[in-house]
Amino acid sequence: MKLNYREDSHLYGWSGSFGRNSIFTITIFSLGLSFYFQDHALGTDFADISATDHIGYMLRVTARIAFFLLLLAMIARPFRQLTGMGFELLRHRRYLGLAMSFVSTVHFFYVVAYLQISGEPLKMTTIIFGGFAFLLTWILAATSNDSSQRMLGVWWRRIHVFSSYYIWLIFMVTFFGTLRENSEPLYAGIVSTGLVAVSLRIAVHHSQRFKRTA
Ligand code: HEM
């Protein structure tokens, strides 16, 4: 299915801003709920939660929410092309990406707090690969607007595709590392979901290219 420009772009007007506001509201609400219920999640009274436990918990929460938003943004187009459904998802992809950047930035601030409190030295590989992922996240956010899209031309898509895959990879490596350590079904589920989402994206992309050249 060939998408026209209006389908792929975000629309303005009441319904466009309602979708955008809903995405940002739900994102902030999810962060707030996770914060509010951290005593249940950690199995302790609120007053007994140490700064280290709080930071570790919020690092996990922000990573999971950001990954979920990234996957939604990454499958929006292939899902639409494959099923003909998901018009609203595709239309609001930009805001999913922006919400992902916002939550990643919260992760970044918790990383800074974690480093200060734990006094743990950072490995050079973490600084380079993790730091580059944060940088790309912010580049994505800064260029997620029409004027940057027009100005960067073909480079806009290249930057966005490369950045999404790179950030996805850092998430997957981290989740997979935890899965190897603890073999928890939750991590198996997260890693499998990440793999399915990207396989779907690659498969649909190749089938579209095949159709165009056939
Ligand atoms: C310098 C950069 C970073 C540092 C020092 C860092 C540090 C941390 C720490 C301390 C945790 C908590 C581990 C735990 O208590 O279980 C964590 C979790 C996590 N971080 Fe980061 N982080 C960095 C950047 C990133 C980036 C750029 C991404 C993704 C693009 C990312 C994805 C994750 C994931 C997936 C988890 C695991 C969440 C879970 O266990 O459910 N981190 N990070």
CATH numbers and ranges of domains, the chain = 5-213 (1.20.120.1770)
Pair of tokens at residue 68: 């979920």
Q: What is the pTM of this model?
A: 0.92
Based on C-alpha coordinates, what's the Rg of the chain?
19
Q: How far is the CA of 60 from the centre of ligand 1 (A)?
A: 7
pLDDT in tens, the chain (214 residues): 444 444 445 555 666 688 899 999 999 999 999 999 999 999 999 999 999 999 999 999 999 999 999 999 999 999 999 999 999 999 999 999 999 999 999 999 999 999 999 998 899 999 999 999 999 999 999 999 999 999 999 999 999 999 999 999 999 999 999 999 999 999 999 999 999 999 999 999 888 777 766 6
**pLDDT for residue 207:** 84
Supply the residue whose CA is at minimum distance from atom 26 of ligand 1: 130
Q: How far is the CA of 208 from the centre of ligand 1 (A)?
A: 35
Ligand 1 atom with least separation from CA of 127: 1
Mutate to test the pocket of ligand 1, among 49, 104, 111 (most ligand atoms within 8 A of CB): 111
177 CB within 6 A, ligand 1: no
Q: How far is the CA of 119 from the centre of ligand 1 (A)?
A: 16
Q: How far is the CA of 84 from the centre of ligand 1 (A)?
A: 35
Q: How far is the CA of 63 from the centre of ligand 1 (A)?
A: 6
- Cβ-based neighbours of 89, under 8 Å, separated by 6 or more: 72, 76, 79, 80, 96
